[in-house]
Chain A
Amino acid sequence: MAAGGRRREQGVSAAPQLKVADLTKAFGGLLAVNQISFDVRRGEILGLLGPNGSGKTTLLNLVSGAMLPTRGTVSLDGRVLTGLAPHRIARAGVSRTFQLVRMLPSLSALENVMVGAVFGPGRVWGGEAEAIGRALLERVGLAGRESLHPAAMTYIDQKRVELARALAGDPQVLLLDEWLAGLNPTELQTGIALIESLHAEGRTVVMVEHVMDAIRSLCDRCVVMNAGAKLAEGTAEEVLSNPEVIRAYLGDEHA
């Protein structure tokens, strides 16, 4: 990838890159995330599934440093991230998108993307940052819209810009919070292909997702959450045919 610089080995390695251990977050009496542990291997796409309110976004918030856990740790390549400020975690190579897209309204699309390159782990500046921004806008299908401002863009295009921004720092781990939600069938195919291309370049991805087609075609493994706790872990086929998972998603009468 032009923007990446660093090329990664193809495929999934055995060593865990991101380790989530006993992660717990209580909001008052509510255990939004309850003793969750799992590993993500380098180059793997891990799906994070679960009904609404099961704690997926909170879990991403704990990984990205937006919130401090009540208990437990997150580590990247053996280095504990928990307790670090979000900007340190970002510089360590973890970047994210937000469930409700967050654009920088006074910046153009290109500048929005450049933010990731300038301040992320890559920390480039000048023409180099601009080149990365242009290359990534093209990659997410927004070539020619560099100078548009978010207010003039559709929600979907804003999501593309946000993904490009998250990629611009050349992160080790990418956290996507329902990035495919709200796309029409054509856009969904493009979106899936895009994430597939991240996989192909060996990037590690944790994606919160509800779209079953995307989960089946993209995720190497899945973790399913329910009411804060881990309900199941395994391949997409395994977890989606797990009766407990079906019950959690659809209610008791379907199990």
Chain B
Amino acid sequence: MIFSMQRREVATMAAAAAALAVLAGLPLADDGFWLALGISIASYVAMATAWALFSGPTNYVSLATAAFFGSGAYVVSALAESAPWPVILIAAAAVGALLAFAVGVATLRLSGVHFVIFTFGLAELIRQLVTWYQTTVTGSVGRYIFVEISAAQIYWQLLALCGLTFFIGWAIARSRLGFALRVIGDDETVAAHSGINTAQCKVLLFCISGTLIALVGAVMAPRFTYIEPSIAYGSMVSFQVVIMALLGGARRLWGPLVGVLPFTLLYELISGRFPNHTHLLLGIAFLLIVYFVPQGVSGLLVKAWNRMPWRRAAAAGSKA
């Protein structure tokens, strides 16, 4: 039942592909506010989904998103003039994977809370290192990024990354790795005693997640035009991704997606109406979410769906 591809899955995939195709038409309709909003949403969907690939099953809250995002962006700034775009993307992915591998191996023995702090510290550390490198070696903190790329092209690449992230998540769920992760999430001791190399699974997943986030950083880099460490490695992105993923529900592949939409709207609303209290209000919203919607919006949706009359009839029918 978890192995063979079901008709429903095929239908879901077809629907996802159709949705991506429709969304890809956005730049044709508008290339101002809505395209900018689309870019923002697509980048957060890709990042929050990639974040949840690792943090959903393992329950490890990573605040290293900024480290991956920033490193991806910095690869672009370093290579923009010397390498073609596809090579730049491959380099960004490689840097993300290597960074994730190093962090994963270094944090294997850390428990939950320590992991959170380590990953947060890591993003800050890398930011300081890049700052130090730029001031002592290149002589200036900031860099200009000149890449011939339009907003629409950025948007399409982000959509493609979203599609890739969902596809990877789907493939993992069907694999031994996905099965291992469910076991690890339930009981790590049982996992290890059943023959699961828990450390390897976690590092592998962290690498996949970090690679995807670094790619988002690379694709987004040309939007900045001018980057410096405090922009590329800004810790807000780490927190926003966590909030969005938890709001949507990190345990379902589509959970973060339904978290990004309300969050982005909430963010627009709060930062528009109360520009001086944005972070305070976001913090309060976050607390309320964690307290009242621990399963995330996706959890609520599933519950509501199962309460629908036709679902109840189906459940009763299958029992009889």
Contact = CB atoms under 8 A, between A and B. Distances in A.
B195 interface: yes
Most buried by A among B1, B179, B182, B194: B194
Given A118-B176, A125-B176, A102 B194 contact: no
B77 to A, nearest CB: 41
A82 interface: no
Contact of B194 (A103, A106, A120, A125): A120
Given A85-B192, A106-B182, A126 B3 contact: yes
A119 B194 contact: yes
B68 to A, nearest CB: 28
B191 to A, nearest CB: 8
Interface in B151-204: 176, 179-180, 182-183, 185-187, 189-198
Given A126-B3, A130-B1, A118 B187 contact: no
B298 to A, nearest CB: 15
Contacts of A114: 179
Interface residues of A, number: 31
Most buried by A among B180, B191, B198: B191
Contact of B197 (A64, A87, A130): A87
A93 to B, nearest CB: 10
Contacts of A105: 186
Nearest to B1: A130
B5 to A, nearest CB: 12
A106 B185 contact: yes
Contact of B189 (A66, A95, A111, A120): A66
A227 to B, nearest CB: 26
Given A85-B197, A130-B1, A104 B183 contact: yes
Contact of A96 (B3, B176, B185, B193): B193
A99 to B, nearest CB: 12
Interface string A83-100: 001110011000110000
A85 B196 CA distance: 10
Given A87-B198, A104-B187, A105-B186, A115 B179 contact: yes
Contact of B186 (A90, A104, A116): A104
A102 B176 contact: no
A121 to B, nearest CB: 7
A119 B186 contact: no
A43 interface: no
B196 A87 contact: yes
Given A85-B197, A87-B197, A127-B3, A115 B192 contact: no
Contacts of A121: 195
Nearest to A127: B3
Contacts of A68: none
A87 B1 contact: no
B183 A90 contact: no
Interface in A186-229: none
Contact of B195 (A102, A104, A119, A130): A119
Contacts of B180: 119
Given A90-B195, A126-B3, A107 B189 contact: no
B193 A107 contact: no
A76 B179 CA distance: 28
Contacts of A104: 182-183, 186-187, 190
A169 B192 CA distance: 13
Interface string B103-126: 000000000000000000000000
A90 B185 contact: no
B183 A107 contact: yes
A106 B193 contact: no
Contacts of A116: 194-195
Contacts of B185: 106
Contacts of B182: 104, 106-107, 111
A66 B180 CA distance: 18
Contacts of A41: none
A102 B182 CA distance: 15
A45 to B, nearest CB: 21
A165 interface: yes
Nearest to B199: A85
Interface in B267-301: none
Most buried by B among A65, A66, A104, A130: A104
Given A66-B193, A102-B187, 10 more contacts: A64-B193, A90-B192, A104-B182, A104-B183, A104-B190, A106-B185, A107-B182, A111-B182, A121-B195, A123-B195
21 contacts: A65-B193, A85-B192, A85-B197, A87-B193, A87-B196, A87-B198, A90-B192, A90-B193, A102-B187, A104-B183, A111-B2, A114-B179, A115-B179, A115-B183, A116-B194, A118-B176, A118-B179, A120-B195, A130-B1, A165-B194, A169-B194
**A-B complex: 8 closest residue pairs judged by Cβ atoms:** A119-B195, A90-B195, A104-B186, A86-B192, A91-B195, A126-B3, A120-B195, A119-B196
Interface of A: 64-66, 85-87, 90-91, 95-96, 102-107, 111, 114-116, 118-121, 123, 125-127, 130, 165, 169
Interface of B: 1-3, 176, 179-180, 182-183, 185-187, 189-198
